Amino acid sequence: MGMNEAVRLFFSNYTKFDGRSRRAEFWWPALMNLIISWTLGGVAIVVGGGIDAYTSLQFNALGWIFYGASVLWGLAVLVPGLSVAVRRLHDRNMTGWFLLGFVVAMIIPLLNIVALIAFIVVLAMPGTVGPNKFGADPKGGHDVGVFS
């Protein structure tokens, strides 16, 4: 599965919280979202008055435009990100409620780093081969790599 197909599936299945998703369907859009968010935030800092303006939220007009675009992008990918994370957990034969557990654990100081690392590891591991209780294997039963 290429990046274009993964991103297309990410947005076309944005409200589908059932079934399974391949690793590529989670990780390619995650990379895309990271690049877009950092770019918009970085441009907001550069054109908005620097890091001091960012930390105090006292941007100039152009900085507010890019900061607003960054916030809007985050809101636009929130539901698709949650749904693909749930489907990715389903691919590991885990219920989607584990996502809530990871999010709650990431709020707790000192536990948050461990929870983040565990979340990344779980989502990077291959899914169960063959069908599981959440549906058929999206890869057809073979493991061909993280970005495939």
The Cα 113–Cα 116 span in angstroms is 5
Token pair in block for residue 70: 């960054």
pTM of the model: 0.84
Q: What is the pLDDT of residues 2-30, one digit of tens each?
A: 888 999 999 999 889 999 999 999 999 99
pLDDT at 141: 57
Distance from the first to the final alpha carbon of the chain: 5
Residue 135 DSSP symbol:
B
Residue of 10, 138, 137 lying closest to 84 (CA atoms): 10
Q: For the CA atoms of the chain, what is the radius of gyration?
A: 18
Residue of 13, 2, 10 lying closest to 26 (CA atoms): 10
Q: What is the pLDDT of residues 73-89, one digit of tens each?
A: 999 999 999 999 999 99
Task: Compute the average pLDDT of residues 83-102.
Answer: 95
Tokens 């399974």 correspond to: 20
The whole-angstrom distance between residue 143's C-alpha and the CA centroid of its chain comes to 21
